[in-house]
Amino acid sequence: MKVITKHLTKEILQATGFVLLALVALFAFFDLVGQLGRIGSRYGLLDAFVITGLSLPMRIYEVMPIAALLGTVFVMSQWASRSEFTILRVAGLSPVRLAAILMVPGIILVAFTYAFGEFIAPSSDSYSREYRATVQHKTMDIRGSDTGAWVRETMDSPNGPQVRYINIQKMTPTEEALDWRIYDFDEKQRLTRVIAAESGNYVDDQGWILQGAINTALPLLENLTQTPIMDRVMVSSPTRMMFRSAIDPSIFGVMMLKPENMSMRSLYRYVNHLEQSRQESDRYEIALWNKAFYPIAILVMIALAMPFAYMNRRSGGVSIKIFAGVMIGLAFYTINNLFSYIGMLNTWPPLVVAMVPTACMLVLAMIGMWFVERR
C-alpha cells in the first residue's frame, strides 16, 4: 500500500498543480482585462502586469480547494477508466483505506494553503495596494468609508476608563497617516481635548509624531447652569508633538483591507482590539474562523472526489465527471461566501458560520459514498 499511496499522492499533486495553474491564469486574464480602462491614463502596461502578479497569491489561496477537488476527480476518473481502481478493490481496498490514502496529499495541500494564506497572500495583497497607490501618485483610501478610519482606544485611569476616538482620512504607502482628528473623553464621558494634525508618523514603542498639530483643551462642564464659566478654551499653535497611543499603523491598515484578505494573526489582533474597546467584532471573527476552516475544506473536497473512483465507464466519461466537479466546487465557493454574509446579518455564532459550508460538503461526500457502495 505504500507504493500505491506514493503513486496516488504524486498524481493528485501533479493534477492539482495543473488545474491550479489553469484557474490562476484565467483569473489573471480577467484581472488584466478589468484594468484596460486604467492602462495608459493612470499607469502603464508593465505596472498592470505587476499589479496583476501581486494579486495572484490571493487567487491561489481562494481556488486551492476547487483545484484539489478537480485534480482528485481527474485522477480518480483516470484510475477507474483504466480499471486500476477495480483491481485495487478486488485486492481488498476498502473505502476507509482509500480515504486514509487520499488524506496524505490532502494534508500536504492543507499545510501549503495555510502557509500561503497566512504569510504570502496577505503581504502580496498589501503590496499590490501600495504599488497601485505609488504608480498613481495617490494615497490609500479607507475602504468603504467617506469619513476615513475611526478607531476607539480605551485607557485605564484611577477614576475609571477613559475613551479616545481617533480619525484619519488617508494613508500613504510609507504608512504615514494624514488628516488627523483626535477626541479625548474622561471617565465621565466629557470631551476634554481635541487634536487636529496634518500628518503623523509612527515610532516603535513610543507613539505617533504629529506634524502641524493643533491642541484644543476644553473646560469641564460640571452642570448645565447659567453660571458663567471662567475657564477658557485653550488652543495651541500648530506644532510638532509626540502623541502616545497603543494604536499602530497595522490597526489603521485593517481599515484598508478586506477581512478575507488578512492573515489570521492580523485578524486575531484586531478582534482583540475591538473586544477591549467594546466594539462589534462579528465580521472580523467570521473572517478569522473562515481562515481557520477554509484550508481544511481541501480534505472534504478530496473526500468528495472518492465516489468518482467507484463509477465505471457507463457512468460517463472523464469530461462529465470534471464538469460535475466544477459544479460542486462552484457550489462550495458560493455557499461559503453566502453564509458569511447571512451569518453577519443574522448575528449567528462565527464558528457556526465558518463550519456550515464545509459540513455541508462533508455530508454530500458521505451521501455520495453511500450511494455508490449501495449500487
Mean pLDDT for the stretch of residues 345-351? 86
Tell me, what amino acid is at 232?
R
Of 287, 292, 285, whose CA–CA distance to 258 is shortest? 287
Residue 313, pLDDT above cutoff 60: no
Q: Which of 34-43, 50-59, 335-344 has the highest mean pLDDT?
A: 50-59
Output the pLDDT for position 52.
93
Output the pLDDT for position 314.
53
| Per-residue cell: 96 | 476507509
Output the pLDDT for position 229.
65
Higher pLDDT: 144 or 75? It is 75
Higher pLDDT: 142 or 346? It is 346
Output the pLDDT for position 318.
73
| Per-residue cell: 116 | 500561503
131 pLDDT band, cuts 50/70/90, is: confident
364: Cα separation from own chain's centroid: 26
369 pLDDT band, cuts 50/70/90, is: confident
Of 229, 340, 328, 238, whose CA–CA distance to 284 is shortest? 340
Using an 8 Å Cβ cutoff, are 199 and 181 in contact? no
| Per-residue cell: 295 | 484550508
Which residues does residue 43 pair with via DSSP β-bridges, in sequence order?
39
Output the pLDDT for position 71.
93
Mean pLDDT for the stretch of residues 168-174? 81
312 pLDDT band, cuts 50/70/90, is: low
Which residues does residue 151 pair with via DSSP β-bridges, in sequence order?
166
Residue 125 CA to residue 60 CA, distance in Å, equals 12
Higher pLDDT: 214 or 273? It is 214
Residue 38, pLDDT above cutoff 90: no
Provide the residue ranges of all domains of the chain, joining segments of one domain with +. Answer: 2-137+286-374, 144-255
Please work out, in degrees rounded to the nearest 5, the angle formed at the alpha carbon of residue 55 by the alpha carbons of 53 and 57. Answer: 90
DSSP track, 42-106: TB-HHHHHHHHHHHHHHHHHHHHHHHHHHHHHHHHHHHHHTTHHHHHHHTT--HHHHHHHHHHHH
Using an 8 Å Cβ cutoff, are 361 and 300 in contact? yes
Please work out, in degrees rounded to the nearest 5, the angle formed at the alpha carbon of residue 230 by the alpha carbons of 228 and 232. Answer: 120
Residue 184 CA to residue 217 CA, distance in Å, equals 10
Range with the poorest average pLDDT among 190-194, 276-280, 349-353: 276-280
Which residues does residue 170 pair with via DSSP β-bridges, in sequence order?
141, 178
181-184, Cβ contacts within 8 angstroms, sequence gap of 24 or more: 182/243
Q: Kindly report the average pLDDT of the chain as a whole number.
A: 86
Residue 225, pLDDT above cutoff 80: no
Output the pLDDT for position 297.
94
Output the pLDDT for position 224.
58
CA distances from 211 to 12, 28, 141, 164 (A): 57, 41, 20, 19
Residue 107 CA to residue 295 CA, distance in Å, equals 10
Output the pLDDT for position 227.
63
| Per-residue cell: 34 | 478589468
Mean pLDDT for the stretch of residues 169-195? 88
pLDDT tens-digit readout, 239-295: 999 999 888 887 887 777 788 888 899 889 888 888 887 788 888 899 999 999 999
16 pLDDT band, cuts 50/70/90, is: very high
DSSP track, 232-280: --EEPPSEEEEE--S--HHHHHHTTS-GGGS-HHHHHHHHHHHHHTT--
Q: What is the pTM of this model?
A: 0.81
Tell me, what amino acid is at 286?
I
pLDDT tens-digit readout, 141-152: 665 456 788 888
Which residues does residue 193 pair with via DSSP β-bridges, in sequence order?
184, 217
Residue 60 CA to residue 321 CA, distance in Å, equals 23
Residue 169, pLDDT above cutoff 80: yes
Residue 210, pLDDT above cutoff 70: yes
Output the pLDDT for position 317.
66
CA distances from 31 to 26, 36, 67, 123, 142 (A): 9, 9, 19, 19, 22
Mean pLDDT for the stretch of residues 158-185? 87
Output the pLDDT for position 141.
60
Of 63, 68, 69, 77, whose CA–CA distance to 26 is shortest? 63
Residue with cell 488617508: 170
pLDDT tens-digit readout, 278-291: 788 888 899 999 99
Residue 54 CA to residue 63 CA, distance in Å, equals 16
370 pLDDT band, cuts 50/70/90, is: confident
